Copies of this chain bind each other. A is one copy, B any other.
Amino acid sequence: MTSIRERNRELILRAASEEFAEKGFAATKTSDIAQRAGLPKPNVYYYFKSKERLYREVLESIIEPLLQASSPFNQPGQPAEVLRAYIRTKIRISREHACASKVFASEIMHGAPHLSPERVEQLNAQASHNIARIQGWIDEGLMAKVDPSHLLFSIWAATQTYADFDWQISSVTGKASLGDTDYEAAAETLIRMVIKGCEVQDDVTG
């Protein structure tokens, strides 16, 4: 059973994600969020104390999926399998959590002023773990000697870009929005660059 409270909170959170993603934190008006949610403005303040706390909740909503995306790195598996799964998951997040993803990117771009040190530490720890795992593969001779950090940065950038720069991608491709086949092509292209480009040992492609 979903109470009115839960329902309204959900409506506001969704509207806020969209508004913050479109215009950024500072440029977004709480009245616009309320309007998009179909509720009067004071409700926004009633459910979420302030614009900033609402923003923090939107931000928080993307962290869990983001950490989850690294799960392939936390399980046993061949390098090619792990990297493939990771890239596919990252692209899926860009697609399914496009708004929150964009809000997160904008936050990071401006030095993460609203992100708690704990969260930052958590994300960094996962990143360090992934980098170490890649370095391990290199040491075992399972892939070429590339810089693991820069490899990871490239994967982040290339997957995030489908959420962050959707406007540019639409503008260049002429498509209003990307479909299944586009995301499939995006994943294929990046996976190829990583697996072949880094000579990752792989039973499928050699």
Contact = CB atoms under 8 A, between A and B. Distances in A.
The A contact surface, by secondary structure, is helix
A147 B193 CA distance: 11
Given A154-B158, A197-B194, A146 B189 contact: yes
Interface string A137-168: 00000001011011101101110111011011
Interface in A164-206: 164-165, 167-169, 171-173, 185-186, 188-190, 192-199
A92 interface: no
A102 B102 CA distance: 15
A176 to B, nearest CB: 13
Quickly give the copy total for this chain: 2
A45 to B, nearest CB: 20
27 contacts: A23-B110, A24-B24, A24-B25, A24-B26, A24-B110, A105-B165, A106-B106, A108-B167, A109-B165, A124-B171, A128-B172, A146-B192, A147-B185, A147-B186, A147-B189, A153-B158, A153-B161, A153-B165, A153-B169, A154-B157, A154-B190, A157-B161, A157-B165, A192-B197, A192-B198, A194-B197, A196-B196
